[in-house]
């Protein structure tokens, strides 16, 4: 289609502000789906996405819209992930667009995530169309929100569209705005091919499916293409677009969005942000902005049943086919046996992988406390990167440790500010900005160690703001910090899976808390069990679990042996689900106890 | 040696800690039950002559003396080596005691549980220490001198001092046999529900801790030993020669036939079980017994080891369980001597931990 009639746009919205409902409505109004075919929220196709109300994978749906000017337009809706863990993916999706709908809930207002993504969109020179949604709700205050958009984001919101995606009001106006305000794609069909990979996934029948935006030139079936970052060459086997059903086509030309299959074996080969060029007539320059995705959060994943180790490896390999953002390597724990050290984009990403492993592959997992990757300079001057507490060098060999630092932005209501400031201070934050952004809302900018937010930061932020705080962050650098390894000894034996890296000033308190939590989680054993937290040889906390006094069935009623057997079997089964470290049976929850340390508010 | 168990699941009131299918039911149901029970016993093909009989409950002492006699008529082997009836204190009269003796009963097991009035009331029972004292005399006068007294450690309101007082009563009454149970608060009992949901009626909030209960029990072991009653099974204590012959069959895996609702039988190979509830037992559609091959390989351990005398594992068994045995011997929970394997004093308290390791399933 002529570029003049193409519009590529995405939707920026905070969770629950109505992005999916609006997307469904656009599909419905343009006839892409009949009402009968509509299943609630078509775009979030993974179970997990539907349940959590979040988008994990990007999608691109083509809508054919005949505008009031009588012309037929091709509108490509590029749906992006909406979580801070996936901000790189978001930036690549935005790069594929010329415009964005900024959807803001008419009663909730602008949130940190929305703000961050809007800035990202402005940075990519996207035309922003403000949409104030949910105006049907009694608590809606469209005028206040309009002002807020202007003051906080600094864009003109006079023409903001007032909609109720739920009721369908304002949808036509949005479509007209897209046609008239979003610029048509630039690029040139006559230049050599340059296409942007903005997402990819693995399909067991067709191999890797890539979502592309063609910026210059043409993509045609049978064409030999080359990936800029790794030089790999493939032949295009199929092209198409989602409408929203997959519709094959022979060509995608400059300005268009669609999918591509080229018999690619793993998504790791088709990197998000990479540029596709023609193998015979390659463009001189790649598209800007490509980065290798680097995991930021690391944790050990272990099967509860040690014989499922092979199963876990297969599952991780399969998941990796589809998710190149996470990586894994075998690791061995004295306490937990054979498992894998895995790297993730963030905590949500970790949770998603963990849930998919449990659901789709049916593996019971023990996850060790998530941590970050430290840069350690040794006394010999060598720089090493360590993401596993057990691999920390001996303190005598460490010259200094650098920890990753993030710039975090929190938007909340002023009534919650006390608790949030306390939390940010406790998490070793440095305040950089404190701004009132109107309507009783406050925007905080803090420098925080990443290590402090991977534990329980989200949960605590939510609980001290009753859910009215949003967070966005990005890595800003490294800082030298006095980090130490806190070890846990159970009955005198170190339990490596419970080790954690903490700031020296917190080691004593965290050690005490962890030990007292473990005392409550580890059931009494046949003997007294000493629990100790130690830094090197120095014990910083100690408690003991007194020996179990009795576990005995008193009565045998009228020769009922089966009742006894059942009880014994039940007890035995319970023990099977524990991990035996030395002589002590440790339940799975104990390994998660580390996660909750520092969370004194949650104590009963 | 073989025994007969007859189940009579009717009570005048349900104890607050009780999680059995026993309880208070309409009189009409009781009549139908007795007919069905008699039919079941009559239909039984006796492959052996029983040497022991045990009337358990429920509260079989509330059964009319003639009724009891007529049931005993149906059971061969009289006079039995041991014929026990379970009795709730407060249900025994001189006349009843005499007719029991005449019908062949030679042992009575009294569900005393405690001699402390406050504790007894909270269980829902109505007797006093004086009732027990009087009824033991009545039984003795009728010629029944082999009595068991049940005690429960861990009742609501129990303290070290009150427990000592109950044990003092045992010393005073000098029964031939005592059973001490450590109370497990079952969530299906009224006490358990109160404990979970909160409430004050049965004193659930006032039940001793597991550790206190364990201490009470260990105190009892010492006191009873000093009175000449040795522990011969985890919860059973007797003067020499007064161990319950019937109950020993359970631990020694000897055969027994059970009749009535929730009655269990064992023929030396197969275990069978009648339906638990009275309604199912009376209903021809659900009356059938459940059968299961006994897993003797592990029962020998988790049932047999309950006896303080221990068991004599075969050469095969020593080999098969070599590792757990060694582990528990090292931990001081099991001891071995001349081919005998038995629980130590500590092993008794943690016997479930030991038994689990011998389960072969």
pLDDT above 80: residue A50: no
Domain co-membership, B97 together with B7: yes
Closest by CA position to A13, among listed A73, A63, A95, A77 = A77
pLDDT above 80: residue A467: no
A265: left (phi over 0), alpha (psi -120 to 50) or beta: alpha
Identify the pLDDT of residue A604. Answer: 32
What average pLDDT does range A262-279 have in this prediction?
A: 92
**Residue B264 resides in a domain:** no
Domain boundary among B250, B280, B305: B250
Q: For residue A548, give the nearest of B183, B295, B350 by CB distance.
A: B350
What average pLDDT does range A432-458 have in this prediction?
A: 87
Domain co-membership, B99 together with B236: yes
pLDDT above 60: residue A599: no
CA–CA distance, A579 with B240 (Å, rounded to integer)? 46
Domain co-membership, B147 together with B203: yes
CA–CA distance, A101 with A238 (Å, rounded to integer)? 31
Contacts of A100 (CB under 8 A, 6+ apart): A9, A10, A11, A12, A94, A118, A121, A126, A127, A128, A129
Torsion angle of the four alpha carbons A532, A536, A537, A539, in this order, in degrees rounded to the nearest 10: -30
CB contact (8 A) between residue A562 and residue B273: yes
pLDDT above 50: residue A603: no
**Residue B199 resides in a domain:** yes
- Which chain B residue is nearest to residue A553, measuring alpha carbons? B352
- All residues of chain A having their beta carbon less than 8 Å from the beta carbon of residue B247 are 556
pLDDT above 60: residue A515: yes
CA–CA distance, A313 with A357 (Å, rounded to integer)? 10
Mean pLDDT for chain A overall:
87
The CATH number given to whatever domain includes residue B62 is 3.20.20.70
Domain co-membership, B83 together with B205: yes
Identify the pLDDT of residue A469. Answer: 82
Domain co-membership, B226 together with B354: no
pLDDT in tens, B299-353: 999 999 999 999 999 999 999 999 999 999 999 999 999 999 999 999 999 999 9
pLDDT above 90: residue A112: no
A551: pLDDT confidence band, cut at 50, 70 and 90? very high
Q: Which residues of B, range 149-178, sit inside 8 Å of A by Cβ?
A: none
Tokens of B1: 């040696």
CB contact (8 A) between residue B264 and residue A551: no
**Residue B258 resides in a domain:** no
- All residues of chain B having their beta carbon less than 8 Å from the beta carbon of residue A555 are 181, 235
A200, A272 contact by CB (below 8 A):
yes
CB contact (8 A) between residue B264 and residue A560: yes
pLDDT in tens, B83-97: 999 999 999 999 999
**Residue B218 resides in a domain:** yes
**Residue B305 resides in a domain:** yes
Which residue numbers of A have CB closer than 8 Å to B's CBs? 526-527, 548-562, 564-565, 567-569, 571-572, 575
pLDDT above 90: residue A351: no
Least trusted range by pLDDT, from A354-363, B44-53, B156-165: A354-363
Domain co-membership, B221 together with B164: yes
A419: left (phi over 0), alpha (psi -120 to 50) or beta: alpha
pLDDT above 90: residue A348: no
Domain boundary among B192, B215, B250: B250
**More confident call, A37 vs A309:** A309
Domain co-membership, B141 together with B242: yes
CA–CA distance, A235 with A409 (Å, rounded to integer)? 44
Q: For residue A568, give the nearest of B54, B350, B356 by CB distance.
A: B356
**Residue B110 resides in a domain:** yes
Domain co-membership, B236 together with B339: no
Q: B308 touching A, CB under 8 A?
A: no
Identify the pLDDT of residue A602. Answer: 40
Question: How far are the Cα atoms of A224, B57, B188 from residue A565, in angstroms, in the given order?
Answer: 68, 22, 19
CA–CA distance, B298 with A572 (Å, rounded to integer)? 14
Domain co-membership, B8 together with B147: yes
Packed helices B94-103 and B65-73: angle between N→C axes, nearest 10 degrees: 10
CB contact (8 A) between residue B234 and residue A552: yes
pLDDT in tens, A365-412: 888 888 999 999 999 999 999 999 989 998 899 999 999 999 998 988
Residue B119 lies in domain: 3-250
Widest CA span in chain B: 58
What average pLDDT does range A321-338 have in this prediction?
A: 86
In this prediction the ipTM stands at: 0.91
Closest by CA position to A88, among listed A258, A283, A296, A386 = A296
What average pLDDT does range A435-464 have in this prediction?
A: 86
CA–CA distance, A479 with A472 (Å, rounded to integer)? 20
Tokens of A196: 């942007």
Domain co-membership, B73 together with B181: yes
Q: For residue B350, give the nearest of A550, A555, A562 by CB distance.
A: A550
Domain co-membership, B304 together with B220: no
What average pLDDT does range A508-527 have in this prediction?
A: 92
Torsion angle of the four alpha carbons B36, B38, B42, B48, in this order, in degrees rounded to the nearest 10: 110
- All residues of chain A having their beta carbon less than 8 Å from the beta carbon of residue B356 are 568, 571-572, 575
Contacts of A251 (CB under 8 A, 6+ apart): A218, A219, A220, A221, A239
Domain boundary among B250, B282, B310: B250
Domain co-membership, B12 together with B158: yes
State the total domains in chain B: 2
pLDDT in tens, B4-37: 999 999 998 888 888 888 888 888 999 999 999 9
pLDDT in tens, B200-235: 788 888 899 999 999 999 999 999 999 999 999 999
B192: pLDDT confidence band, cut at 50, 70 and 90? confident
**Residue B267 resides in a domain:** no
% residues pLDDT > 90 (chain B): 82
What average pLDDT does range A322-351 have in this prediction?
A: 88
Q: B226 touching A, CB under 8 A?
A: no
pLDDT in tens, A72-101: 999 999 987 666 677 788 888 899 999 999
**Residue B272 resides in a domain:** no
A598, A510 contact by CB (below 8 A):
yes
Best residue in B356, B357, B359 to probe A by mutation, most A CBs within 10 Å? B356
Q: Which residues of B, range 329-358, sit inside 8 Å of A by Cβ?
A: 331, 333, 348-353, 355-356
Place of tokens 């909340």: A412
């Amino acid at each position: 289609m002529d570029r003049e009639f193409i519009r590529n746009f995405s939707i920026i919205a905070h969770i629950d502000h109505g992005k999916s409902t609006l997307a469904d409505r656009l599909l419905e109004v343009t006839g892409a789906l009949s009402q009968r075919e509509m299943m609630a929220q078509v775009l979030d196709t993974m179970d997990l996405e539907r349940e959590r109300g979040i988008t994990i994978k990007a999608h691109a749906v083509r809508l054919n819209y005949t505008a009031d000017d009588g012309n037929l337009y091709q509108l490509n809706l590029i749906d992006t992930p909406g979580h801070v863990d996936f901000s790189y993916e978001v930036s690549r999706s935005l790069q594929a667009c010329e415009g964005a709908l900024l959807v803001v809930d008419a009663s909730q207002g602008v949130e940190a995530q929305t703000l961050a993504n809007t800035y990202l969109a402005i940075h990519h020179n996207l035309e922003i169309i403000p949409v104030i949604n949910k105006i049907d709700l009694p608590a809606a205050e469209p005028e206040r929100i309009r002002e807020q958009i202007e003051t906080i984001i600094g864009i003109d919101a006079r023409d903001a569209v007032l909609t109720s995606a739920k009721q369908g009001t304002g949808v036509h106006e949005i479509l007209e705005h897209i046609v008239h305000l979003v610029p048509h794609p630039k690029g040139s069909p006559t230049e050599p091919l340059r296409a942007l990979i903005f997402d990819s996934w693995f399909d067991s029948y067709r191999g890797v499916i890539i979502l592309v935006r063609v910026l210059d030139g043409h993509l045609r079936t049978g064409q030999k293409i080359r990936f800029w970052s790794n030089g790999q060459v493939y032949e295009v086997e199929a092209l198409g677009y989602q409408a929203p059903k997959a519709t094959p086509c022979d060509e995608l030309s400059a300005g268009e969005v669609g999918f591509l299959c080229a018999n690619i074996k793993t998504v790791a080969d088709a990197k998000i942000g990479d540029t596709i060029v023609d193998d015979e007539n390659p463009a001189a320059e790649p598209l800007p902005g490509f980065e290798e995705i680097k995991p930021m959060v690391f944790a050990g994943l272990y099967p509860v049943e040690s014989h499922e180790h092979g199963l876990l490896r297969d599952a991780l390999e399969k998941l990796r086919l589809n998710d190149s953002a996470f990586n894994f390597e075998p690791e061995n724990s004295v306490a937990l046996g054979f498992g894998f050290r895995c790297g993730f984009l963030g905590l949500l990403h970790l949770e998603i992988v963990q849930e998919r492993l449990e659901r789709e592959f049916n593996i019971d997992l023990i996850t060790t406390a998530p941590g970050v990757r430290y840069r350690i300079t040794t006394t010999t001057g060598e720089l090493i990167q360590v993401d596993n507490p057990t691999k920390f060098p001996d303190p005598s060999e460490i010259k200094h440790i650098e920890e990753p630092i993030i710039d975090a932005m929190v938007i909340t209501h002023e009534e919650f500010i006390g608790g949030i400031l306390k939390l940010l201070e406790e998490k070793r934050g440095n305040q950089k900005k404190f701004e009132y952004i109107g309507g009783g809302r406050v925007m905080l900018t803090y420098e925080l160690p990443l290590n402090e937010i991977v534990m329980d930061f989200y949960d605590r932020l939510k609980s001290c703001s009753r859910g009215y705080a949003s967070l966005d962050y990005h890595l800003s650098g490294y800082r030298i910090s006095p980090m130490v390894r806190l070890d846990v000894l159970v009955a005198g034996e170190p339990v490596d899976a419970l080790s954690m890296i903490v700031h020296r000033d917190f080691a004593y308190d965290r050690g005490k808390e962890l030990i007292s939590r473990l005392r409550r989680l580890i059931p009494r054993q046949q003997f007294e069990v000493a629990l100790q937290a130690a830094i090197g040889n120095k014990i910083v906390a100690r408690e003991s679990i007194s020996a179990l006094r009795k576990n005995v069935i008193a009565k045998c009623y009228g020769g009922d042996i089966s009742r006894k057997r059942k009880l014994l079997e039940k007890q035995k089964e319970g023990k099977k689900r524990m991990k035996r470290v030395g002589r002590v049976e440790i339940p799975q929850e104990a390994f998660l106890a580390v996660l909750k340390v520092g969370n004194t508010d949650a104590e009963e | 040696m073989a025994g007969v168990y007859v189940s009579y699941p009717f009570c005048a009131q349900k104890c607050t800690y009780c999680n059995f299918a026993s309880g208070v039911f309409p009189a009409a149901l009781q009549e139908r039950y007795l007919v069905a029970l008699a039919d079941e016993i009559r239909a039984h093909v006796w492959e052996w002559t029983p040497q022991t009989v045990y009337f358990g409950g429920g509260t079989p002492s509330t059964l009319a003396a003639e009724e009891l006699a007529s049931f005993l008529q149906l059971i061969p082997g009289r006079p039995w080596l041991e014929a026990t009836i379970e009795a709730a204190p407060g249900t025994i009269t001189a006349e009843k005691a005499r007719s029991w003796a005449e019908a062949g009963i030679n042992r009575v097991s009294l569900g005393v549980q405690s001699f402390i009035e406050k504790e007894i009331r909270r269980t829902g029972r109505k007797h006093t220490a004086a009732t027990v004292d009087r009824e033991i005399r009545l039984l003795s006068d009728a010629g029944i001198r082999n009595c068991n007294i049940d005690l429960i450690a861990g009742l609501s309101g129990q303290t070290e001092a009150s427990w000592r007082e109950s044990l003092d009563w045992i010393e005073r009454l000098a029964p031939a046999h005592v059973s001490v149970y450590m109370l497990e608060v079952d969530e299906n009992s009224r006490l358990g529900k109160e404990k979970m949901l909160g409430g004050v009626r049965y004193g659930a909030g006032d039940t001793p801790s597991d550790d206190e209960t364990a201490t009470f029990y260990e105190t009892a072991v010492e006191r009873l030993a000093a009175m000449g009653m040795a522990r011969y099974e985890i919860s059973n204590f007797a003067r020499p020669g007064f161990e319950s012959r019937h109950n020993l069959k359970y631990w020694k895996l000897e055969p027994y036939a059970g009749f009535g609702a929730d009655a269990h039988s064992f023929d030396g190979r197969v275990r069978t079980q009648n339906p638990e509830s009275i309604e199912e037992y009376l209903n021809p559609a659900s009356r059938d017994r459940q059968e299961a091959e006994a897993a003797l390989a592990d029962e020998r351990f988790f049932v047999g080891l309950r006896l303080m005398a221990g068991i004599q594992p075969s050469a095969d068994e020593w080999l098969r369980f070599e590792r757990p045995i060694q582990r528990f011997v090292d931990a001081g929970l099991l001891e071995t001597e001349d081919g005998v394997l038995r629980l130590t004093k500590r092993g008794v308290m943690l016997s479930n931990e030991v038994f689990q390791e011998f389960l072969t399933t």
